[in-house]
Amino acid sequence: MKASRYLFPSDYMADPSAHVFEDKIYIYPSHDWESGIPENDNGDHFNMRDYHVFSMNDPEAEVVDHGVALSTDDIPWAGRQLWDSDVAYKDGKYYMYFPLKDQNDIFRMGVAVSDRPEGPFVPQANPMKGSYSIDPCVFEDNGAYYMYFGGIWGGQLQFYRDNKLTPPCELPHFHEPALCPKIVKLQDNMLEFAEAPRDVLLLDEEGNPLKQGDTERRFFEASWVHKYGGKYYFSYSTGDTHLLCYAIGDNPYGPFTYQGVIMTPVVGWTTHHSILEFKNKWYLFYHDAVPSGGKTWLRSMKMVELEYDEQGLIKTIAGQ
Protein backbone atom coordinates (compact mmCIF):
# COMPACT_ATOMS: atom_id res chain seq x y z
CA MET A 1 0.00 0.00 0.00
CA LYS A 2 1.39 3.39 -0.98
CA ALA A 3 1.88 6.05 1.66
CA SER A 4 -0.74 8.75 2.16
CA ARG A 5 -0.14 12.35 1.17
CA TYR A 6 -1.08 15.62 2.85
CA LEU A 7 -2.57 17.83 0.17
CA PHE A 8 -2.47 21.35 1.60
CA PRO A 9 -0.43 21.56 4.79
CA SER A 10 -0.46 25.36 5.01
CA ASP A 11 -4.11 25.57 6.14
CA TYR A 12 -6.72 23.38 7.78
CA MET A 13 -9.10 21.79 5.30
CA ALA A 14 -11.35 18.81 6.07
CA ASP A 15 -14.13 16.62 4.62
CA PRO A 16 -12.63 16.57 1.10
CA SER A 17 -15.12 15.87 -1.69
CA ALA A 18 -13.06 14.99 -4.77
CA HIS A 19 -14.20 14.77 -8.41
CA VAL A 20 -12.67 14.57 -11.87
CA PHE A 21 -13.72 17.60 -13.91
CA GLU A 22 -12.04 18.75 -17.14
CA ASP A 23 -9.50 15.88 -16.81
CA LYS A 24 -8.22 17.21 -13.47
CA ILE A 25 -8.94 16.37 -9.86
CA TYR A 26 -10.94 19.04 -8.06
CA ILE A 27 -11.30 18.95 -4.28
CA TYR A 28 -14.06 20.66 -2.30
CA PRO A 29 -13.26 20.63 1.44
CA SER A 30 -14.66 22.44 4.43
CA HIS A 31 -12.38 25.08 5.99
CA ASP A 32 -11.45 24.62 9.64
CA TRP A 33 -10.27 27.49 11.79
CA GLU A 34 -9.75 28.29 15.47
CA SER A 35 -13.22 29.66 16.21
CA GLY A 36 -12.70 29.95 19.95
CA ILE A 37 -16.00 28.16 20.62
CA PRO A 38 -15.77 25.40 23.27
CA GLU A 39 -15.85 21.84 21.90
CA ASN A 40 -19.12 19.92 22.37
CA ASP A 41 -21.12 17.03 20.87
CA ASN A 42 -23.23 19.43 18.79
CA GLY A 43 -20.12 20.53 16.92
CA ASP A 44 -20.53 24.22 17.72
CA HIS A 45 -16.74 24.62 17.54
CA PHE A 46 -16.87 23.69 13.83
CA ASN A 47 -18.01 27.19 12.91
CA MET A 48 -16.72 27.23 9.34
CA ARG A 49 -17.38 30.34 7.24
CA ASP A 50 -16.20 29.67 3.69
CA TYR A 51 -15.09 27.14 1.09
CA HIS A 52 -11.87 27.03 -0.92
CA VAL A 53 -11.55 24.93 -4.08
CA PHE A 54 -8.37 23.00 -4.92
CA SER A 55 -7.19 21.23 -8.06
CA MET A 56 -4.37 18.95 -9.13
CA ASN A 57 -3.43 17.71 -12.59
CA ASP A 58 -2.74 14.20 -11.28
CA PRO A 59 -2.30 12.49 -7.89
CA GLU A 60 1.39 13.39 -7.71
CA ALA A 61 1.04 16.99 -8.86
CA GLU A 62 1.13 20.23 -6.92
CA VAL A 63 -2.18 21.17 -5.31
CA VAL A 64 -3.48 24.56 -6.45
CA ASP A 65 -5.62 26.71 -4.15
CA HIS A 66 -8.19 28.63 -6.18
CA GLY A 67 -9.19 30.74 -3.20
CA VAL A 68 -12.59 31.39 -1.64
CA ALA A 69 -15.40 30.02 -3.81
CA LEU A 70 -18.33 30.70 -1.44
CA SER A 71 -18.70 32.41 1.93
CA THR A 72 -21.50 32.77 4.48
CA ASP A 73 -21.39 36.49 3.67
CA ASP A 74 -22.68 35.61 0.18
CA ILE A 75 -25.67 33.55 1.34
CA PRO A 76 -28.89 35.50 2.04
CA TRP A 77 -30.39 32.95 4.45
CA ALA A 78 -27.16 32.20 6.34
CA GLY A 79 -27.03 31.60 10.04
CA ARG A 80 -23.78 29.78 10.88
CA GLN A 81 -21.68 26.66 10.30
CA LEU A 82 -20.92 26.10 6.62
CA TRP A 83 -20.08 22.40 6.88
CA ASP A 84 -18.92 19.93 4.20
CA SER A 85 -20.16 20.31 0.61
CA ASP A 86 -20.29 18.40 -2.67
CA VAL A 87 -20.28 19.50 -6.30
CA ALA A 88 -21.96 18.04 -9.39
CA TYR A 89 -21.70 18.93 -13.09
CA LYS A 90 -24.56 19.06 -15.57
CA ASP A 91 -25.00 20.79 -18.95
CA GLY A 92 -22.13 23.24 -18.59
CA LYS A 93 -22.88 24.24 -15.00
CA TYR A 94 -21.34 23.24 -11.68
CA TYR A 95 -23.66 22.94 -8.70
CA MET A 96 -22.34 23.16 -5.15
CA TYR A 97 -24.55 21.64 -2.45
CA PHE A 98 -23.84 22.76 1.09
CA PRO A 99 -25.32 22.38 4.58
CA LEU A 100 -25.74 25.56 6.58
CA LYS A 101 -27.72 26.46 9.66
CA ASP A 102 -30.43 28.97 8.95
CA GLN A 103 -31.22 31.86 11.27
CA ASN A 104 -33.24 29.49 13.48
CA ASP A 105 -30.13 27.27 13.91
CA ILE A 106 -31.61 24.44 11.82
CA PHE A 107 -29.46 22.84 9.12
CA ARG A 108 -30.74 23.15 5.55
CA MET A 109 -29.16 22.40 2.17
CA GLY A 110 -28.27 25.23 -0.13
CA VAL A 111 -27.24 25.27 -3.79
CA ALA A 112 -24.75 27.58 -5.48
CA VAL A 113 -23.97 27.64 -9.19
CA SER A 114 -20.87 28.36 -11.27
CA ASP A 115 -19.71 28.15 -14.88
CA ARG A 116 -16.33 26.81 -13.71
CA PRO A 117 -15.34 23.95 -11.41
CA GLU A 118 -13.21 26.28 -9.28
CA GLY A 119 -16.01 28.80 -8.83
CA PRO A 120 -16.82 31.33 -7.57
CA PHE A 121 -20.26 29.89 -6.82
CA VAL A 122 -23.37 32.06 -6.68
CA PRO A 123 -25.90 30.85 -4.09
CA GLN A 124 -29.64 30.59 -4.57
CA ALA A 125 -31.70 32.99 -2.47
CA ASN A 126 -33.26 30.24 -0.35
CA PRO A 127 -32.39 26.74 0.87
CA MET A 128 -33.75 23.70 -0.95
CA LYS A 129 -37.37 23.10 0.04
CA GLY A 130 -37.73 20.02 2.23
CA SER A 131 -34.01 19.75 2.95
CA TYR A 132 -32.45 19.08 6.34
CA SER A 133 -29.38 17.70 8.14
CA ILE A 134 -25.85 17.63 6.66
CA ASP A 135 -23.27 15.90 4.47
CA PRO A 136 -24.62 16.07 0.91
CA CYS A 137 -23.20 13.66 -1.65
CA VAL A 138 -24.54 14.03 -5.20
CA PHE A 139 -24.22 10.97 -7.41
CA GLU A 140 -25.03 10.72 -11.13
CA ASP A 141 -26.31 7.45 -12.56
CA ASN A 142 -27.64 6.99 -16.10
CA GLY A 143 -28.37 10.69 -16.41
CA ALA A 144 -30.23 10.98 -13.10
CA TYR A 145 -28.79 12.81 -10.09
CA TYR A 146 -29.32 11.72 -6.51
CA MET A 147 -28.42 13.42 -3.25
CA TYR A 148 -27.46 11.34 -0.23
CA PHE A 149 -27.39 13.15 3.10
CA GLY A 150 -27.67 12.95 6.88
CA GLY A 151 -25.63 13.02 10.06
CA ILE A 152 -26.57 12.36 13.67
CA TRP A 153 -25.66 14.33 16.82
CA GLY A 154 -24.66 17.82 15.59
CA GLY A 155 -25.96 16.92 12.14
CA GLN A 156 -29.53 16.91 13.50
CA LEU A 157 -30.73 13.78 11.66
CA GLN A 158 -32.22 12.53 14.94
CA PHE A 159 -34.59 15.52 14.89
CA TYR A 160 -36.56 14.00 12.00
CA ARG A 161 -39.03 11.19 11.41
CA ASP A 162 -40.69 10.80 7.97
CA ASN A 163 -38.93 14.01 6.85
CA LYS A 164 -40.60 16.09 9.56
CA LEU A 165 -38.94 17.67 12.58
CA THR A 166 -40.47 15.53 15.31
CA PRO A 167 -39.89 16.09 19.05
CA PRO A 168 -38.41 14.76 21.28
CA CYS A 169 -35.64 14.73 18.61
CA GLU A 170 -33.80 11.79 20.11
CA LEU A 171 -31.83 8.84 18.78
CA PRO A 172 -33.39 5.36 18.75
CA HIS A 173 -32.58 3.03 21.66
CA PHE A 174 -29.61 0.69 21.21
CA HIS A 175 -31.80 -2.35 20.41
CA GLU A 176 -33.80 -0.48 17.74
CA PRO A 177 -32.88 -0.04 14.06
CA ALA A 178 -30.36 2.75 13.53
CA LEU A 179 -31.35 5.98 11.84
CA CYS A 180 -30.85 5.72 8.10
CA PRO A 181 -29.04 8.08 5.79
CA LYS A 182 -31.33 9.62 3.19
CA ILE A 183 -31.52 9.64 -0.59
CA VAL A 184 -33.53 11.98 -2.80
CA LYS A 185 -33.63 12.33 -6.58
CA LEU A 186 -33.00 15.85 -7.87
CA GLN A 187 -35.12 17.67 -10.42
CA ASP A 188 -33.69 18.32 -13.87
CA ASN A 189 -32.87 21.91 -12.88
CA MET A 190 -30.56 20.52 -10.12
CA LEU A 191 -32.01 23.07 -7.69
CA GLU A 192 -34.91 21.17 -6.14
CA PHE A 193 -35.93 17.75 -4.86
CA ALA A 194 -37.95 15.66 -7.32
CA GLU A 195 -39.45 13.51 -4.55
CA ALA A 196 -39.59 13.13 -0.80
CA PRO A 197 -36.33 11.87 0.73
CA ARG A 198 -36.25 8.12 1.39
CA ASP A 199 -34.32 5.93 3.83
CA VAL A 200 -31.12 4.27 2.64
CA LEU A 201 -31.37 0.88 4.33
CA LEU A 202 -28.10 -0.62 5.60
CA LEU A 203 -28.31 -4.35 6.30
CA ASP A 204 -26.13 -6.89 8.10
CA GLU A 205 -25.02 -10.14 6.45
CA GLU A 206 -28.33 -11.80 7.42
CA GLY A 207 -30.43 -9.08 5.82
CA ASN A 208 -31.43 -7.32 9.05
CA PRO A 209 -31.24 -3.53 9.45
CA LEU A 210 -28.21 -2.43 11.48
CA LYS A 211 -29.10 -1.52 15.06
CA GLN A 212 -28.37 1.78 16.77
CA GLY A 213 -26.20 -0.06 19.30
CA ASP A 214 -24.03 -1.56 16.56
CA THR A 215 -21.80 1.49 16.71
CA GLU A 216 -18.91 -0.01 14.71
CA ARG A 217 -21.17 -0.58 11.68
CA ARG A 218 -24.19 1.74 11.89
CA PHE A 219 -24.34 5.01 9.97
CA PHE A 220 -23.31 8.23 11.69
CA GLU A 221 -22.49 10.70 8.85
CA ALA A 222 -20.47 11.28 5.66
CA SER A 223 -22.35 9.45 2.88
CA TRP A 224 -20.46 8.75 -0.33
CA VAL A 225 -21.44 6.60 -3.32
CA HIS A 226 -19.39 5.24 -6.20
CA LYS A 227 -19.75 2.39 -8.72
CA TYR A 228 -17.29 -0.44 -9.21
CA GLY A 229 -17.82 -3.62 -11.19
CA GLY A 230 -21.46 -2.74 -11.84
CA LYS A 231 -22.24 -2.51 -8.11
CA TYR A 232 -23.08 0.53 -5.99
CA TYR A 233 -20.80 1.16 -3.03
CA PHE A 234 -22.26 3.23 -0.20
CA SER A 235 -19.51 4.36 2.18
CA TYR A 236 -19.88 6.31 5.40
CA SER A 237 -18.42 7.19 8.79
CA THR A 238 -19.39 5.52 12.06
CA GLY A 239 -18.58 8.77 13.87
CA ASP A 240 -17.90 8.09 17.53
CA THR A 241 -16.19 4.76 16.71
CA HIS A 242 -14.03 6.50 14.08
CA LEU A 243 -14.31 3.98 11.23
CA LEU A 244 -14.91 4.40 7.52
CA CYS A 245 -17.18 1.53 6.43
CA TYR A 246 -18.96 0.49 3.25
CA ALA A 247 -21.93 -1.51 2.03
CA ILE A 248 -22.83 -2.77 -1.46
CA GLY A 249 -26.14 -2.68 -3.33
CA ASP A 250 -27.63 -3.20 -6.77
CA ASN A 251 -29.16 0.25 -7.36
CA PRO A 252 -28.79 3.81 -6.06
CA TYR A 253 -31.66 3.45 -3.57
CA GLY A 254 -30.27 0.28 -1.97
CA PRO A 255 -30.69 -1.61 0.22
CA PHE A 256 -26.96 -1.91 0.86
CA THR A 257 -25.38 -4.86 2.66
CA TYR A 258 -22.50 -4.13 5.02
CA GLN A 259 -19.13 -5.40 3.76
CA GLY A 260 -16.37 -4.06 5.99
CA VAL A 261 -13.99 -1.29 6.96
CA ILE A 262 -12.31 0.98 4.41
CA MET A 263 -10.06 2.76 6.91
CA THR A 264 -9.29 2.23 10.59
CA PRO A 265 -9.23 5.25 12.93
CA VAL A 266 -6.97 8.22 12.25
CA VAL A 267 -5.83 10.92 14.68
CA GLY A 268 -8.79 13.21 15.24
CA TRP A 269 -12.41 12.64 16.14
CA THR A 270 -14.21 12.67 12.81
CA THR A 271 -13.59 10.71 9.64
CA HIS A 272 -15.02 12.06 6.39
CA HIS A 273 -14.02 11.01 2.91
CA SER A 274 -14.60 10.69 -0.81
CA ILE A 275 -13.55 8.09 -3.39
CA LEU A 276 -12.73 8.59 -7.06
CA GLU A 277 -11.18 6.89 -10.05
CA PHE A 278 -8.46 8.69 -12.01
CA LYS A 279 -6.68 7.03 -14.96
CA ASN A 280 -7.66 3.50 -13.89
CA LYS A 281 -6.56 3.90 -10.29
CA TRP A 282 -8.75 4.54 -7.26
CA TYR A 283 -8.09 7.03 -4.47
CA LEU A 284 -9.46 7.73 -1.02
CA PHE A 285 -9.56 11.35 0.13
CA TYR A 286 -9.92 11.97 3.87
CA HIS A 287 -8.45 14.02 6.74
CA ASP A 288 -6.69 13.72 10.06
CA ALA A 289 -5.58 16.06 12.86
CA VAL A 290 -1.89 15.20 13.06
CA PRO A 291 -0.54 18.58 11.81
CA SER A 292 -2.55 20.48 14.44
CA GLY A 293 -1.24 18.28 17.23
CA GLY A 294 -4.47 16.30 17.50
CA LYS A 295 -6.91 19.21 17.70
CA THR A 296 -10.02 17.52 16.42
CA TRP A 297 -11.45 20.75 14.99
CA LEU A 298 -8.30 21.60 12.98
CA ARG A 299 -7.97 18.91 10.33
CA SER A 300 -5.81 18.47 7.24
CA MET A 301 -6.88 16.75 4.03
CA LYS A 302 -5.02 13.74 2.71
CA MET A 303 -5.24 11.12 -0.02
CA VAL A 304 -4.08 7.53 -0.47
CA GLU A 305 -4.48 4.91 -3.18
CA LEU A 306 -7.41 2.53 -2.65
CA GLU A 307 -7.41 -1.09 -3.86
CA TYR A 308 -9.96 -3.88 -4.37
CA ASP A 309 -9.51 -7.63 -4.13
CA GLU A 310 -10.61 -10.12 -6.79
CA GLN A 311 -14.14 -10.25 -5.31
CA GLY A 312 -14.52 -6.48 -5.54
CA LEU A 313 -14.09 -5.94 -1.81
CA ILE A 314 -12.13 -2.89 -0.69
CA LYS A 315 -8.82 -3.68 1.00
CA THR A 316 -8.80 -2.13 4.46
CA ILE A 317 -6.38 0.76 4.86
CA ALA A 318 -4.73 1.30 8.22
CA GLY A 319 -5.40 4.81 9.49
CA GLN A 320 -2.28 6.74 8.59
Q: What is the pLDDT of residues 173-201, one digit of tens each?
A: 999 999 999 999 999 999 999 999 999 99
**Residue % of the chain over a pLDDT of 90:** 93
Closest to 225 in 3D by CA, of 176, 186, 276, 185: 276
pLDDT category of residue 1 using cuts at 50, 70 and 90: low
Residue 206 has pLDDT above 70, yes or no: yes
Report whether pLDDT(209) > 90. yes
Please report, for the chain, how many H helices and E strands are present, in that order.
Answer: 0, 24
Per-residue model confidence as pLDDT tens digits over 16-39: 999 999 999 999 999 999 998 888
Are the C-beta atoms of residues 101 and 127 closer than 8 Å to each other?
no
Query: Three-state SS for 154?
Result: helix
Q: Is the pLDDT of residue 112 over 80?
A: yes
Architecture of domain 5-306: 5 Propeller (2.115)
Query: What does the DSSP 8-state code read for residue 268?
Result: S
Q: How far apart are alpha carbons 68 and 88 in whole angstroms?
A: 18
Cα distance between residue 106 and residue 151, in whole Å: 13
Read off the pLDDT of residues 276-307 as tens digits, 9 standing for 90 and up.
Answer: 999 999 999 999 999 999 999 999 999 999 99
**Predicted pLDDT at 317:** 95
Percent of the chain with pLDDT over 70: 99
CB atoms within 10 A of CB 243: 22
φ/ψ region of 147 (left if φ > 0, alpha if ψ in -120 to 50, else beta) reads beta
Is there a contact between 268 and 287 (Cβ–Cβ < 8 Å)? yes
Q: Average the pLDDT over 223-239 and give the result.
A: 98
Give the pLDDT band (50/70/90) at residue 40. confident
Q: What is the pLDDT of residue 143?
A: 95
Quick one: pLDDT at residue 90? 98
Which residue type sits at 292?
A: S
- Residue type for position 54: F
Q: Is the peptide bond before 9 cis (omega within 30 degrees of 0)?
A: no
Structure confidence at residue 42 (pLDDT) = 86
Q: What is the pTM of this model?
A: 0.97
| CB contact at 8 A, 85 and 28 | yes
Q: So what's the pLDDT on residue 271?
A: 86
List the domain boundaries for the chain.
5-306
Confidence of residue 320 (pLDDT cuts 50, 70, 90): low
Catalytic residues: 15, 221
Given a contact cutoff of 8 angstroms between Cβ atoms, the answer to whether 77 and 127 are in contact is yes
Reported residue count of the chain is: 320
Provide the 3-class DSSP secondary structure of residue 241: helix
Using DSSP's 3-state secondary structure scheme, residue 230 falls into coil
Query: What number is the average pLDDT over the span 122-127?
Result: 98
Whether residue 208 has pLDDT greater than 60: yes
What is the SS3 assignment for 82? strand
Kind of pairing between the strands at 24-31 and 50-56? antiparallel
**pLDDT surpassing 80 at residue 98:** yes
